[in-house]
Amino acid sequence: MVVRFCAIAKGSVNLVGDDTDFELIRNLISTRVKEENKEELQKEDFFYAVDNSFEQSGIAYEMAVNPLNNVYQVWKVDSTSTHGYLILPPYVRPEFEIVLGYNDYQIILGIKRYKYGKHCLNLAIDVNILRGSQDPPMVLPKPNVDKYFAKDNKSFKALSENPTFSSSDIRKAVKFPTLNHWDLFLQKHKAQYPLAVEELKKLQPLTQEIFDLNVIEMYGNTYIGEADYGIRYGRGAYIFGKEGTTYIGYWDKGMQFVKGKVFDRSNRLIFEGEYKNGLRDGKGVYNYQGGEKYEGMFAKGLKDGKGIFTWNDGLKWDGNFKKDNLEGEGTFFDGKETFKATFKDGNLVES
């Protein structure tokens, strides 16, 4: 969770502690759910509530409440069917067990990994309910949220009592420079990824959304750019370690999107054009290693539609393509003469 502090006066923030198991937000959610369902909690023999209403925050949860003093519950949870969401600690395995003791509650949190529509944790839960006077298995005590707040409140004086600035100074319209985090991010990595940074500087954001800025290493490949919970989104460069090629452009749900460029390991431009669902789709220009060049339409990664292919000896075909093959009517031009031809499935049928 990222917290931003904005003020017209200078100030400081001290680290009180790490909330590695998301105790603070669990307490906030539990307070809300218990309050909203207090009548049901008083009536039901046992009770649990599911609420996925935090769509703007990217947080989903399932909360179980046991309001009774003579019943405890054992939940066996299977989260393997959950897609697009990461189950947060302390539940780090796909299958886990939680115990609700007497008058107890538990919360399973999920956070969006990428844009996956509405929240749906898809948890498979098998509940075993045990009644009687026997002691339930030991359950961990619930976190104490008070540890995150200053007891004496000295750090939170009202502005009029703040000794650092007078009230008149605070009322002045103070303007602080707005940092461009994208520029700072690129500057930081310019020395290590010069080509990627130079090309990324040319890209303007397609939307007003603000994404994380990450360098992600995976399977010998490197991604530098914008991401959403570790998924490539927005502007970014992907360096394929084995092939040595680099894609620089826009991303959506981890796939190449709208438009981009591809460079070889010598930083020679191989392709520039449009993309859809991770494949070349639309207008584009492809420069082959042997000197050939194609300029025209692509579909699902292949030359498809109207285009011009130029061989390294200067011969040109201006016509149609289908699945990478010459198709239909077109014209050859060798620099001196022009003649028409017709192809079917890549084979010449008429000239």
pLDDT digits (tens, 9 = 90+) for 233-286: 999 999 999 999 999 999 998 999 999 999 999 999 999 999 999 999 999 999
pLDDT digits (tens, 9 = 90+) for 206-223: 988 888 888 998 889 999
pLDDT > 70? residue 155: no
Domains of the chain (ranges, CATH numbers): 23-147 (2.60.40), 181-350 (2.20.110.10)
pLDDT value at residue 37? 84
* Residue 64 contacts residue 75 (beta carbons within 8 Å): yes
pLDDT value at residue 173? 47
* Residue 295 contacts residue 302 (beta carbons within 8 Å): no
Percentage of the residues of the chain whose pLDDT score is greater than 70: 79
CA distances from 1 to 17, 21, 28, 58, 266 (A): 14, 11, 14, 11, 40
Q: Which two tokens stand for residue 98?
A: 């939680």
* Alpha carbon distance 248, 300 (integer Å): 19
* Residue 71 contacts residue 102 (beta carbons within 8 Å): yes
* Residue 63 contacts residue 25 (beta carbons within 8 Å): no
* Alpha carbon distance 187, 8 (integer Å): 28
pLDDT > 80? residue 168: no
- pLDDT interval class at 156 (50, 70, 90): very low
* Alpha carbon distance 302, 323 (integer Å): 5
pLDDT value at residue 146? 63
Sign of the torsion angle spanned by Cα atoms 260, 262, 268, 272: negative
What is the reported pTM?
0.57
C-beta neighbour count of 187 within 10 angstroms? 12
* Residue 189 contacts residue 182 (beta carbons within 8 Å): no
pLDDT > 60? residue 165: no
Residues in a beta bridge with 331:
318, 340
pLDDT digits (tens, 9 = 90+) for 338-350: 999 999 888 888 6
Secondary structure (DSSP) of 255-312 = EEEEEEEEE-TT--EEEEEEEETTEEEEEEEEE-TTS-EEEEEEETTEEEEEEEEE-T
Average of pLDDT values for 155-163? 47
pLDDT value at residue 17? 67
Give me the chain's average pLDDT, please: 83
pLDDT digits (tens, 9 = 90+) for 89-130: 888 888 999 888 888 888 998 887 766 566 667 888 888 888
